[in-house]
Copies of this chain bind each other. A is one copy, B any other.
Amino acid sequence: MKNGKIGFGVIGVGRIGKVHIENLVNQLPGADVLMIADVFAAELNKIAKKYRISSADTDYKKVLDNPDIDAIAICSSTDTHYQILLDAAAAGKHIFCEKPIDLSIEKITKVIEAVEKAGVKLMVGFNRRFDPNFRKIHDLVVAGKIGDPHVLNITSRDPGPPPEEYVRKSGGIFLDMTIHDFDMARFQVGSEVTEVYAKATVLVDPMFEKAGDWDTTITVLTFENGAIGTIDNSRRAIYGYDQRVEVFGPKGMVNVTNNKPDNHLYFNNTGIHMSLPLNFFMERYTESYLNEMTAFLECIKKDTPSPVDGKDGLMSVVIGLAAMKSAKEKRPVKISEVY
């Protein structure tokens, strides 16, 4: 840490990597991005130049070798996470890792062990926890405003399906899309999931069936504290990105709906009309990405526990695997059956 600034390296400069670089360079004076890495040299150099980052390498190990670097963000493809995580822990770097850590429970467990042994921070990029809407209702729940949660309802629909090649390697809807909602569920209810029932179907595009996946699902969760909940997902909402959460308890209920680009009302002779929700996660969750990186820097500086740790990264995958098993076997599945 030089001049009180955290030396930072970013590995992977694709879509999400750029978001973090932008925030780290332009919005977060507490960090100093010293180095970036990506296997695609052209894009890497473009980004380095744009953000005046002095060092860039196609080999991420160079980032880990840099003694001025205190922390890294892993923004490369999921299949590369495992090795980078082990290497980074061994190099003593604090680690921010995009979700999911990995799709294998065994590997995630090893990562958690490595990180603990190395004594470095590991934060998983469940950015939605840092969205002002979801954070607000979380805080109200934690403050006891609704009492112990009884029922959770999450609606989470993407504006449109990803390309088929993405679907084929995504791990399936539960591990690619619902995984965010599983994390949100644990975050809001404040208790572990013990059982999952998932009803999954293909209504949007037969491509999903061909890829061995589903596009429309309902998941029922049971929590350790007795709460129950639903998640409904669709790969395509024609009206845009639909992200809503509601938590109900004996003392009240909290919910949040979608953000819109403006709040205008237009009244004419056919009705009252409003703008559609913000279209996708880059617009919808802008603030959350900045807030999560702020939280990561803070936990390093203050040496406090990671706000979204390895266990959080693990449990969302565990629930996803249980959901997939449930959808295939058409029966409720206990978490203890998969982990």
Asked if residues A268 and B145 are in contact (CB atoms below 8 Å), the reply is yes
Task: Please provide the chain A residues from 174 to 206 with a CB less than 8 Å away from any CB of chain B in the complex.
Answer: 197, 199, 201, 203-204
Asked if residues A262 and B218 are in contact (CB atoms below 8 Å), the reply is no
Q: Which of A54-62, A148-156, A303-311, A312-320 contacts B (4 or more CB under 8 A)?
A: A148-156
In the complex, A273 Cα to B266 Cα: how many Å?
Answer: 9
Would you call A105 an interface residue if the criterion is a C-beta within 8 Å of the partner chain's C-beta atoms? no
In the complex, A135 Cα to B275 Cα: how many Å?
Answer: 13
Closest CB-CB distance, A304 to chain B, in whole Å?
24
**Known contacts A197-B197, A248-B237, A253-B267, A262 near B132 by CB under 8 Å:** yes
Would you call A133 an interface residue if the criterion is a C-beta within 8 Å of the partner chain's C-beta atoms? yes
Task: Report, as a range, how many residues of chain A touch the other chain.
Answer: 35 or more
The digit string for A136-159, where 1 denotes a CB below 8 A from any CB of B, is 110010000110001101010100
Name the contact of A234 in the complex, choosing from B150, B157, B230 (C-beta under 8 A).
Answer: B150
In the complex, A29 Cα to B218 Cα: how many Å?
Answer: 44
Asked if residues B269 and A271 are in contact (CB atoms below 8 Å), the reply is no
Report B-chain residues with C-beta under 8 Å of the C-beta of A269.
Answer: 238-239, 251-252, 276
18 residue pairs A–B, Cβ–Cβ below 8 Å: A29-B50, A132-B262, A133-B262, A135-B262, A137-B264, A150-B216, A197-B199, A199-B222, A230-B232, A232-B248, A238-B269, A239-B267, A252-B269, A270-B273, A272-B276, A274-B274, A331-B331, A331-B332
Q: Known contacts A239-B269, A242-B253; can you find 18 more A-B pairs with CB under 8 A?
A: A132-B262, A136-B264, A137-B264, A145-B266, A151-B234, A157-B248, A197-B220, A201-B228, A216-B228, A239-B252, A239-B272, A252-B269, A253-B266, A253-B267, A254-B265, A254-B266, A256-B263, A331-B332
